[in-house]
């Protein structure tokens, strides 16, 4: 890992005669974005709102993955469903709440408490949610699977 601070640069490019915006970052595939349907947009492209909530879900999964191995938590599959609530609050529009619904498949013999501790630790250490003012709630659904499969 590199020493802090880290810098991330993205560029958003738009034309006056088109509603779509192209976002790019060095070495990555470009994405098209547009206004979401909730704000009168077409709803057929990623929006800044959807990208933010996707970043929360992605960061949670990557943070969990980074913490699971040193914590000796074996897992088979993880699904993080993130839902953000966008509201008018204190005279500004912002995300006030983000709900994370996490489904994880683990071996039969793994202690549930251990998995829950690492999931909670991932929630608390996700750098994306730590950068936001929204309240984050975590709901978990743990399924067990025989390790002989």
Same domain, 17 and 56: no
Q: Which residues is 29 bridged to in the sheet?
A: none
1 pLDDT band, cuts 50/70/90, is confident
- pLDDT tens digits along 41-63: 999 999 999 999 999 999 999 99
| Segment 127-145 mean pLDDT | 96
Same domain, 30 and 101: no
Same domain, 131 and 63: yes
Distance CA 145, CA 149 (A): 8
146 pLDDT band, cuts 50/70/90, is confident
Same domain, 118 and 79: yes
For residue 136, is pLDDT > 90? yes
Same domain, 59 and 77: yes
For residue 149, is pLDDT > 70? no
For residue 147, is pLDDT > 80? no
Read off the pTM: 0.93
Distance CA 96, CA 30 (A): 29
Same domain, 140 and 118: yes
CATH value at residue 93: 3.30.300.20
Same domain, 20 and 58: no
Same domain, 62 and 7: no
Domains in the chain, number:
2
Same domain, 37 and 52: no
CB atoms within 10 A of CB 80: 21
Same domain, 56 and 125: yes
- DSSP, residue by residue, 77-146: EEEEEEEEEEEEETTEEEEEEEEEEEEEEEETTS-HHHHHHHHHHHHHH-HHHHTS-SEEEEEEEEEEE-
For residue 11, is pLDDT > 80? yes
Q: The domain containing residue 141 runs over which residues?
A: 48-145
Helix orientation angle between 112-125 and 48-68, rounded to the nearest 10 degrees: 130
Query: Which token pair is 147?
Result: 């390790």
């Amino acid at each position: 890992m590199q020493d802090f601070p880290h810098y991330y640069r993205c560029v958003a490019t738009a034309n006056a005669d088109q509603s779509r915006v192209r976002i790019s970052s060095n070495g990555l595939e470009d994405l098209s974005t547009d206004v979401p349907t909730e704000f009168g947009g077409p709803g057929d492209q990623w929006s800044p709102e959807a990208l933010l909530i996707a970043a929360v879900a992605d960061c949670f999964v990557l943070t969990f993955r980074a913490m699971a191995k040193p914590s000796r938590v074996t897992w088979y599959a993880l699904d993080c469903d993130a839902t953000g609530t966008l509201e008018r609050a204190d005279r500004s529009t912002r995300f006030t709440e983000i709900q994370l619904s996490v489904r994880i498949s683990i071996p039969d013999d793994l202690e549930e408490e251990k998995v829950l501790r690492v999931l909670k630790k991932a929630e608390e250490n996700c750098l994306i949610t730590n950068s936001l003012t929204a309240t984050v709630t975590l709901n978990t659904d743990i399924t067990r699977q025989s390790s002989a499969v």
